[in-house]
Structure 1
C-alpha cells in the first residue's frame, strides 16, 4: 500500500470510515503512479524506442541521455532508466527524497532542496548543464519533469546566488502571491527554469523527448496520453507563458521590492529581450502523463468500485487551508442532515491547491503544511457529523515542512485531541499541525507516492445513525 501507517490509522477514531477513505486514496494513487504510467507508455524493441504512438530509431543516435527533476522524479526517472537499460548512456535525476527502494541502472540520483533551492541541488544542476553542453546533433535527451523542479533544479543567472534565489523563493511563497506570479519571478532569474533547459539542448542541436506531470490548477484531465501534447508549457523544458513584465508586476504589485535581494531586483530591472524566456519549441515532442484532475477522477472511480456513491466537488479548490477544512465539515453536516447537495452515504472528492499564509508576527511553534491544516480545520467542525471522515493530503507524499503526506481526521478527532491535551486552535495559530495530528494518531505517512498532483481531499459522509438528530 502507498500508505505506510495504514494499520495504525484504522486502529483509532471512526475505524470503518477511515478504512474506506484510506482504501480509496491508496487505489487512486496507484492508478496515477508515474512508474506504471510511463512503463505503459514507453517500450524498447531492438533499436526502436516507442513512446506512445511515436517512435525513434536509436541506431541513429550517438548518445541517449536521461534528465529528471521534480517531486515525482523518483518514479519517472526510474521507469525511463528501466526501459532504456543498456541503451541509456547516462542519466541525472534530482529528487526531493531518495527512497531506499529506488533502483537505477545508469542514472545518478541527487537530493536537492525543496521548497527552497539549496547548494546540493545547484551542484546537481551544474552536472546537468555540463552534460547538455557536451552534447551534439546526433544525441537524444529524454527529460522527465514534475512539480518541484523549479527548486530542485536550480541555477540562478549571475550575479544572483543560490542563497539569493532561496530567499526570493521564501518571500514569494509566504507573501500571498498566486502561483503564476511566483513562477514569473522564479523563471526569469533561472538558467534552467521557464524553458531555459530545453533552449540549451536546442542550442546543441540535440533532440528532446519530454514527459511531464502537470500540477497546475485549471489544467483539464489528460486524454489519450499516447499522443504528444501540442500545448505543453512551463517547466525547464516547456515554453514559458510568463514574461519579464509579469515578474516585475508581481514584485511591485505586492510591495516586495525591499524584501528581495538587490541582485534579483537589479537583474529584473535591467533585463531586456535577450533575458526573456523562450515561448515555443515546435521541434520537441512532449507527452503529458497526468494532470491534477486525473487523481480526483481516480478517487471517484475507486469509491464507486466499493459501492459508495461519489461526487467530484471541484478540482479548483484554493484559499486558506484551515477555512477549506471548516467548509468541508459544514458540507458534510448539510449532506448528513438534509441530503443536500448529495444524499448520504457518499464520498465527496476535491482537489486543487490550498495555502497557509504566514503573516508578519506569526510565531511558528512546530511543523506542518496546508493539507494538515485543512485536516485540523475539518476536525474542529466535524464533531456534529457522526462518522464523517476526511483525508487531506499533498499527493506527492510530503506536505509543507513535514515528512507527512497529510492528515486524516474524523468526527472523533477533536474529542481525542482534548483528551490528549492538544489545543487544536493553538496548534493552528502556531502552524504546528503536524505535532497536533501526531499526538492524535492522525498523521499519514506515505513517502514518495509516484505522482505530484497538488492536493487531494477525500471526504466520507455516512448516513445519520438511527435515533440521532
Structure 2
C-alpha cells in the first residue's frame, strides 16, 4: 500500500505515525492475493480448496468469473497457484483496479457505485460464458464487494435507467448493505444466484473477500450463491425504507410479480471466504503490541457516520484520561464494519465527502479540547464514498485548523461536505486503490503523548 498523508505536525507526529503503521498492517493482512494462495494448493493436477480435492485432469476447462473491488488481486492469487491450468475467464473491474496484470483471465472495466451501460454489457458477457459450461468444467467464482454495480443486468420489463435510479435511491438511504443487496438481488438478471443457475451443470468454487459483518456469502458473492431472500424481502425493505413509491413503476411491477430465486440445491458448489476484517484486526493487534500500545478491540462499527464518530470520541477521551493516569497508552481498533450516511434531499457529488470522512470529522468535533487522541477512519478499498481519498486522520486540533481556514464544521457535517474541511485541516488520508475490500478500518490511539 502506498499512502500519502496530509497531516499536522508537532506533538502528535509520532501518534500519527503509529496510526499509519497500524492501518498499513491491517491492509497488508487483508491482501486477497496472498490470502488466496493460502487457501489453494495444487499438487500435480489435484487442487485442494475448501476441504475438497478436485482432479483437474478430469476437467475439460477451468474458468474464472468475477467482479468487484478486491477481485483483481484475488484472481492474481488464483493464477499464482494454478498458472496455465486456468483455461479462460472474465472478470469485471473498476478503472482503478485494472492495472493488475492477469495472464489467463480476461478483464473488462465497468462503473461503480452506480451501474452504467458498460456494467450491463459485462453482466451479459458473464451470463453468456456461464451458459457454455458443461459437467466436466470447473468454474472459480471471484465476486467481491462492488460487484452489484460493476455487473448489473436489469430483468425483463425493467429499464437500465430504472435500475440506475434504484441504485441511487438505495445508496442515499443510509441502509445497511444487507438490506441494499436484498433489493438489488431481486431486481437483476444476474444476481441472486442467477449466474450460477446459468452454469449449473459445472462444478463451482466461490472464492470471496468479506465486506459484510457476519461474512454471509449470500451478500458477498450473490451472482453465484443461492438467494435466501427473494422478492418478498425486497418489497419489505423498500417499504421500510420509505422507498416503495420512489422507485420506478417498472421496478414495483417486477417485484410484485417476480418469481422466487432459482433453486440451486442440486448445484455442486463450494464457497470459501479467503480474507475478512478479522484478518485485518488480528494484524493490527499484533502491530499494536510491537508499538507498545495496549490494544482494545471493538465490535465492527455500523450506523450513521456522525453518530458513530461522536460516540467513539467520548470513549476515546475516557481512554486517554485513563492512559494519562496509568502511563499506558491504548489503541482502539475496529475492522469489518461500515458506517452509512443518510443523504435525504442532499445530492452527493464526487469530492464532497464519504462516510469515513464524515465519521472522522464528527469524531474530531466531539473531542474535548486538548484530548491526547489521534484517530484514522479508513475505507479499506482506498476510496471513501465518491471521493479519491480513503478517509481521514484527525485529532483534537482538527476543528480549530479547519475553522481558521474559514470552514463551519457544523454546517459541513449537516451538508455531508467533509472533504474540503479535512483538506484545509491537513487531515485527508489518500492511499489509491488498495486491492482489497474488507470494509472500514478504525484506529484510535489514546494517551500516547509520551511517544512524542
Q: Is the pair's TM-score, using the shorter chain for normalization, greater than 0.5?
A: yes
Kindly indicate whether the alpha-carbon contact (under 8 Å) linking 1:188 and 1:277 is maintained by their aligned counterparts in 2.
Answer: no
For 1:163, which of 161, 164, 176 is the aligned residue? 161
Q: Say whether 1:451 aligns with 2:450.
A: no
Q: Say whether 1:181 aligns with 2:167.
A: no
1:457 deviates by 0.7
1:72 deviates by 0.7
1:9 deviates by 3.9
1:309–1:78: structure 2 CA closer, same or farther, 3 Å change rule? same
Kindly indicate whether the alpha-carbon contact (under 8 Å) linking 1:366 and 1:430 is maintained by their aligned counterparts in 2.
Answer: no
Q: Say whether 1:347 aligns with 2:334.
A: no
Equivalent in the alignment of 1:244: 231
Q: Say whether 1:333 aligns with 2:332.
A: no
Task: Give the Cα–Cα distance (whole angstroms) in 2 for the partners of residues 154 and 310 of structure 1.
Answer: 41
1:364 deviates by 6.6
Task: Give the Cα–Cα distance (whole angstroms) in 2 for the partners of residues 96 and 46 of structure 1.
Answer: 34
> Matched residue of 2:299: which SS?
strand
Task: Give the Cα–Cα distance (whole angstroms) in 2 for the partners of residues 24 and 289 of structure 1.
Answer: 21
> Matched residue of 2:367: which SS?
helix
1:152 deviates by 1.3
Equivalent in the alignment of 1:5: 4
Aligned residues: 450
1:96–1:166: structure 2 CA closer, same or farther, 3 Å change rule? same
1:232–1:250: structure 2 CA closer, same or farther, 3 Å change rule? closer
Q: Say whether 1:72 aligns with 2:70.
A: yes
Task: Give the Cα–Cα distance (whole angstroms) in 2 for the partners of residues 438 and 13 of structure 1.
Answer: 20
Aligned counterparts, 1:56-455, within 5 A: 56-99=54-97, 101-202=99-200, 205-219=201-215, 235-272=222-259, 275-278=260-263, 280=265, 283-315=268-300, 317-338=301-322, 344-351=328-335, 352-360=337-345, 367-455=352-440
Task: Give the Cα–Cα distance (whole angstroms) in 1 for the partners of residues 412 and 434 of structure 2.
Answer: 27
1:26 deviates by 0.2
Task: Give the Cα–Cα distance (whole angstroms) in 2 for the partners of residues 84 and 181 of structure 1.
Answer: 36
Kindly indicate whether the alpha-carbon contact (under 8 Å) linking 1:188 and 1:244 is maintained by their aligned counterparts in 2.
Answer: yes
Give ranges in structure 2 of 5+ residues lacking alignment.
Answer: none
Give ranges in structure 1 of 5+ residues lacking alignment.
Answer: 221-228
1:57–1:10: structure 2 CA closer, same or farther, 3 Å change rule? farther
1:410 deviates by 1.1
Q: CA RMSD in A?
A: 2.7
Kindly indicate whether the alpha-carbon contact (under 8 Å) linking 1:13 and 1:410 is maintained by their aligned counterparts in 2.
Answer: no
> Matched residue of 2:156: which SS?
coil
1:349–1:341: structure 2 CA closer, same or farther, 3 Å change rule? farther
1:265–1:314: structure 2 CA closer, same or farther, 3 Å change rule? same
1:11 deviates by 5.0
